[in-house]
Structure 1
Amino acid sequence: MKFNNIVYDSHIIENKSSINSRDSLKESKVVVLQPVGYPFSCNLIDTPKIEVFDKQLFEIYAREQWEGFNAVEGSFLFDQKILPDFAFKVIKAHPDNSKITSSTSIILIDNQEINEIKNMETDIKMEDVIGQKQAKLKCKIIQKYLKDPEHFKGWAPRNVLFYGTPGTGKTMLAKSLSGELKVPLYLIKATSLIGDHVGDGSRQIHDLYDLASKTSPSVIFIDEIDAIALDRKFQSLRGDVSEVVNALLTEMDGIKDNLGVVTIGATNNPSLLDYAIRSRFEEEIEFKLPDENERREMIEKYIESMPLEVKVSRTKLAQSSKGMSGRDIKEKLLKTALHKAISEDKSTVDREDIEYALKNYQTEKNEPKNMFA
């Protein structure tokens, strides 16, 4: 809605939080805020850039004005002091729909951090991960720790490395830890930890662990960790990468007591990791390619949701997909065959479609990679 030079944003206004009188609400353990701006734009008012120089001081400032307010993810809190009516979006409330109190931790993060650090909430269970029996067995220790961090103390499996062929379920198993126990999972690509300016990367690392600690028990999953932690004999370590690695080492060493926080790093090839990083992982868990029975189980599961019937023996499919990961079976075999059948107006997926997909897969697999492509 426009009124002269003023643009009115009704969505923000309608979602303005108010003091909730229901005493039955749970107490907010932590609230994560994102600065949004004013509910309208005006050529007389510039939207300020919000930076926090003292986290403790900001928490005191925020709690003082919002104590008693209801924190609901997706809603807004409005400043009532220095920047009246400046909106802050509630990105995360732990627990959701809870009341801010004098002991609530309030964290401010910027847009870049929101895009790079995903707080995954998932319903995936460990039984949804097909195969990887040894990996799942070892993950039970992590589960028990997350259930009762105080009981483990110094014997906790704090840092764990997942390694193995791409598409074998490393991310999915990490999600299942979160899904089984309903604990936060912070999923981040290692490369996104490298900031644009000096200090950005280390600040992101420390903020990430600060958030994970305040929402503990929780899991931090750093995917493709070798992108920043490659053995130094393979690279000349840039200053910004070195800064990130040092910050990560500090957190993994537990100089700060991150009780109830498990760090999982994922890589395809652990031998490429820098020794300083690799030595911090107390446990290395290998993810193997599925055997024939596991491939058949995966195929049956995937086929259930396919829009066309598959007129090919499941046993034959399992045998012909030897050497494929679970992701390859779905994306390279079944999906390619399905798309071919659909493009030819078929009502089913037949052997010809499967053979076409297998041939494509073998061609891609054997094709030399051009590093300048």
Structure 2
Amino acid sequence: HIFLSLHMWSQVTVPLSHLINVLHSMKSSVGSSSSVTCTSRKHKEHAPDLDLHCTEPMWTLRELGLSDLGAQQLDELVSRVLPRLSPEEAPLALGGKTAWRTSHLSTPSFFYNKHGEDVHLFCCTSTHLNRCAYVWVQSRGFKTLRKARRMQLAHVKGVEEAKNELQEVVEFLKNPQKFTVLGGKLPKGVLLVGPPGTGKTLLARAVAGEADVPFYYASGSEFDEMFVGVGASRIRNLFREAKANAPCVIFIDELDSVGGKRIESPMHPYSRQTINQLLAEMDGFKPNEGVIIIGATNFPEALDNALIRPGRFDMQVTVPKPDVKGRTEILNWYLKKIKAKIIARGTVGFSGADLENLVNQAALKAAVDGKDMVTMKELEFAKDKILMGPERRSAEIDSKNKRITAYHESGHAIVAYYTKDAMPINKATIMPRGPSLGHVSMLPDDDRWSETRSQLLAQMDVSMGGRVAEEIIFGHEYITTGASSDFDSATKIAKMMVTRFGMCEKLGVMTYADVTAQSPETQAAVEHEIRVLLKESYERAKALLKSHAKEHKNLADALLMYETLDAKEIQLVLEGKTLETR
């Protein structure tokens, strides 16, 4: 028997009739006494009454991975494989190449389809079948963008420093002679490092778009498959096609998936083939050949040292989360006639992808409400939903708990409003969101790159305001568990002040990163100073709330009536003015 098995890894569209016709035309060369059985992973059993006169295909070439092979190539494939099926003759018949060998495979690649995908063949013996020929087309593992919508660096917002560093790469791709005449050379590889969603892929596409060159995209996780050597083969294919179309940009996303640190392991002896091939390819072309490799990772510390040494990925560009100016630029890109800086101030720590999601959530809210535009109301709603979860309007909260929550949140707001170095209030609400029954949000005027001792103490005082309010209004016996997260925040600040920032006079300017490694006496001293800071903060908040008892009551009543108050409304209430009817 001749057993023809086609293992497919790529997607294709043409029916199998071409292959069957070729087999039929070659019936005389195979011999009338032979029979052919075709199977796939979907059809493991022998097909009944199937012979070379079959016109109904068992599979499509989408399943088989042979869509790009014309009749002539299929004829060449079959004529090379079917007449010579013994393992001894196969290597000679297929050119004797050793691009891929294991103990039981011989798979030289002797041509490629139009997408550059290897067509691999190998022959082996079987206890059940005398002779066996396997044919598969290997997926490239990467995508090529040539005529996609042109992306430019001007379209990327919020990462100006990274754009400036990549501009020299663009200049090189546009005019390589400008550098070679002076004897200069550009790094072969550029490593983009930053948190998820900051625009690393967008920057890489913008570099290719700005220079108007082909862009090859590959994800590090897509190189390796279940078969040994697939990853290394895909690396070779990627670089071969890139060199043939230089100048161009190769972008490898999630580089740490393929370029992680190599380890010695008898369990995975072939695990290093892919990264070794990547290292070899990067050494195999000259810096001025016009191929720029851009890698992106969230974990640069996980990369193999050989990959980031000079001569490979030796240029590192940090792509951080945008500051308030960058967030404003990104929001202005999506929005018109809205004061984007207000939203930008309240989205500290948001990446570009987070801001895009925020705008999308706001648009969905506007559509659900039947509006034809997005306003500040929808943007605030989307921000709160992302930060604290969706509103729980269906939650049944009795009047007693609502009153406790109103005084609790008013306590935070009063302390924040009257404390000198506290951040400005943005809004206060007793609308349940996620696990919280209410919250007070505060916005800094600008991003804080460092904080003073006074600012840290103010944050602690604001955190204490909720529990202090409960104790003053309802008594010590009726305080609730609602202040647990407030105490956690205040304790963390106090601990950092004592152990990391050197802001404790008694212990001096010394850090205690690992308190457990200190002597029992030192541990006791550190704990004592933390307790002192927390107690002093609690007393300051209590004194302030007692001195503004009237304002406290007015603000709590307003929250019970309106549920949510913005900064202007809070100011009007604390000034004793009446709010307009909503």
TM-score (norm: length of structure 2)? 0.43
Range with greater deviation from structure 2 (167-176 or 148-157) = 148-157
Helix, strand or coil for the counterpart of 1:113? coil
Distance 1:340 1:234, change over 3 A: farther
Match of 2:186 in 1: 156
1:196-235 Cα shifts (integer Å, max 9, x gaps): 3111111110111010000001111000011122335799
Task: Provide the residue aligned with 1:216 in structure 2.
Answer: 246
Retained in 2: the 8 A contact 1:194–1:241?
no
Q: Distance in 1 between matches of 2:191 and 2:203?
A: 12
**Deviation digits for residues 341-373 of structure 1 (CA, Å, limit 9, x no counterpart):** 322333443444333322332247xx9xxxxxx
Consecutive unaligned residues in structure 2, runs of 5 or more:
1-10, 25-37, 40-67, 79-112, 119-136, 390-433, 435-582
Q: 1:243 — aligned with what? A: 273
Partner of 1:83: 75
SS of the residue corresponding to residue 75 of structure 2 reads coil
CA distance, structure 2, for counterparts of residue 204 and residue 185 of structure 1? 16
- Written as runs of structure 1 = structure 2, the 5 A alignment for 1:274-353 is 274-279=304-309, 280-303=312-335, 313-331=339-357, 333-353=358-378
Q: Deviations over 1:20-63 (max 9, x none)?
A: xxxxxxxxxxxxxx9976795586556999xxxxxxxxxxxxxx
Match of 1:109 among 110, 113, 117: 117
Q: In the TM superposition, what is the alpha-carbon distance from 1:292 to its structure 2 partner?
A: 1.8
Task: Return the offset for 1:190.
Answer: 0.4
SS state of the match for residue 219, structure 1? strand
Higher CA-based Rg: 2
- Write out aligned runs for 1:102-181 (5 A): 108-109=116-117, 113-114=139-140, 116-121=141-146, 122=148, 123-149=150-176, 151-152=179-180, 155-181=185-211
Q: Distance in 2 between matches of 1:145 and 1:77?
A: 37
The whole-number CA distance in structure 2 between the counterparts of 1:234 and 1:353 is: 54
CA–CA distance in structure 2, aligned partners of residues 120 and 168 of structure 1 = 21
Residues 197 and 42 of structure 1: is their aligned pair in 2 closer, same or farther, counting only changes over 3 Å? closer
- Deviations, residues 223-267 of structure 1 (Å, cap 9, x unaligned): 001112233579999445411110011112236788211111101
**CA-to-aligned-CA distance 1:91-126 (integer Å, 9 cap, x gap):** xxxxxxxxxxxxxx9773166535x31112341111
Q: Which amino acid aligns with 1:323?
A: G
Higher-strand-fraction structure: 1
Distance, in Å, in 2 between the alignment partners of 1:154 and 1:187 is 27
Do 1:201 and 1:240's aligned partners in 2 also have CA atoms closer than 8 Å?
A: no
Residue correspondences, number = 280
- Provide closer, same or farther for how the CA distance between residues 317 and 156 of structure 1 changes in structure 2, counting only shifts above 3 A: same
In the alignment, the residues of structure 2 paired with residue 142 and residue 324 of structure 1 have an alpha-carbon distance, to the nearest angstrom, of 28
Counterpart code for 1:353: E
After superposition, where does 1:179-198 map in structure 2 within 5 Å? 179-198=209-228
Distance (Å, rounded) in 2 between the aligned partners of 1:186 and 1:255: 17
Q: Which moved more, 1:248-257 or 1:194-203?
A: 248-257
Higher relative CO (Cα under 8 Å, sequence separation at least 6) belongs to 1
Equivalent residue for 1:225, pick from 228, 241, 255: 255
Aligned partners of 1:125, 1:228: CA distance in 2, in Å? Answer: 28
State the SS of the aligned residue for 2:272: helix
Q: Unpaired segments of 5 or more residues in structure 1?
A: 1-33, 50-75, 87-104, 305-309, 368-373
Alignment-mate amino acid for residue 272 of structure 1 = A
- Root-mean-square deviation (Å): 3.7
Q: 1:40 to 1:154 in 2, by over 3 A?
A: farther
State the match for 2:231 in structure 1: 201
- 2:317 alignment partner AA: I
How many angstroms apart in 1 are the aligned matches of 2:220 and 2:326?
A: 30
User: After superposition, what is the alpha-carbon deviation per residue over 1:144-184, rounded to whole angstroms, capped at 9, x for unaligned?
Assistant: 32234464377222111001122222111111121122211
On the 8 A contact 1:212/1:218 being kept in 2, the answer is yes
In 2, Cα distance between the equivalents of 1:314 and 1:81?
59
The residue aligned with 1:69 is: none
**Matching residue's letter, 1:132:** V
Match of 1:270 among 300, 324, 327: 300
The residue type paired with residue 342 of structure 1 is A
- CA shift in 2, pair 1:218/1:44, >3 Å: closer
Q: Is the 8 A contact 1:131 1:290 kept in 2?
A: yes
| 8 Å CA contact retained: 1:149, 1:156 | no
Q: Distance in 2 between matches of 1:239 and 1:185?
A: 33
Q: Report the alpha carbon displacement of residue 313 of structure 1 after superposing the two structures with TM.
A: 2.9
Same amino acid, percent of matched pairs: 31
Q: What is the identity, as a one-letter code, of the residue corresponding to 2:171? A: K
The normalised TM-score by structure 1 is: 0.64
Asked whether the equivalents of residues 22 and 74 of structure 2 are also in contact (C-alpha less than 8 Å), the reply is no
